[in-house]
Amino acid sequence: MEGMTGLRFRCTGCGACCIGGADHYVEIGRAEQEALRDYLGLSRPWFRRRYVVPVNDKVEGIRLGADGRCPFLLDDLSCRVYPVRPLQCKTYPWWPELLRPAAWKAEARRCEGIGQGPVIALTTIRGNLNLPTALPPSVKAPATRGKG
């Protein structure tokens, strides 16, 4: 974050962050899985079979479509599970690895909301979002379209 005091961002709801590439994933821990499962009214075995894939031997993720599309992204680009979306989605694009000038600029190729809207102070971003520091640095995944 050196040299950065604030960032411009305003979500346009384009949905691009909900569609990843081959190396993209959305991490979901067990508590997040339970929240999603409960919200969708599904049994645990059915939910896990349909929506969960191993990313590695410690991490599980949402099973994305062959085109990288999040299964919860609806045709109108809204999120079917918005109230219980995973932390990774809630915090995009404020991921620690993106809060560097070069990374933020590069991410703007993916997210059209970057560079739009008023400047948001990094202190506000950190304070309001209680940024996690434990997200793996390689995470690049569909997040969510903020609605406000």
Residue type, 110: R
State the number of binding residues for ligand SF4 (CB under 6 A).
12
CA–centroid distance for 115 within its chain? 18
The interface with ligand SF4 within residues 86-105 (CB under 6 A) comprises 92
- 26 CB-side CA count, 13 A: 29
**Using CB under 6 A, which of the segments 22-30, 79-87, 97-105, 106-114 binds ligand SF4?**
106-114
Burial of 64 (C-beta count, 10 Å sphere; 0-12/13-18/19+): buried
Q: Is 78 in the site for ligand SF4 (CB under 6 A)?
A: no
* Contact present, 94 and 146 (Cβ < 8 Å): no
CA-based torsion, 83, 86, 87, 93: positive or negative: negative
Q: How near is the Cβ of 108 to ligand SF4 at its closest, in Å? A: 9
Q: Is 68 in the site for ligand SF4 (CB under 6 A)?
A: no
The interface with ligand SF4 within residues 4-23 (CB under 6 A) comprises 11-17
Interacting residue with ligand SF4 among 52, 73, 84, 111 (CB under 6 A): 111
Residues forming contacts to ligand SF4 in the complex (CB under 6 A) are: 11-17, 92, 111-113, 145
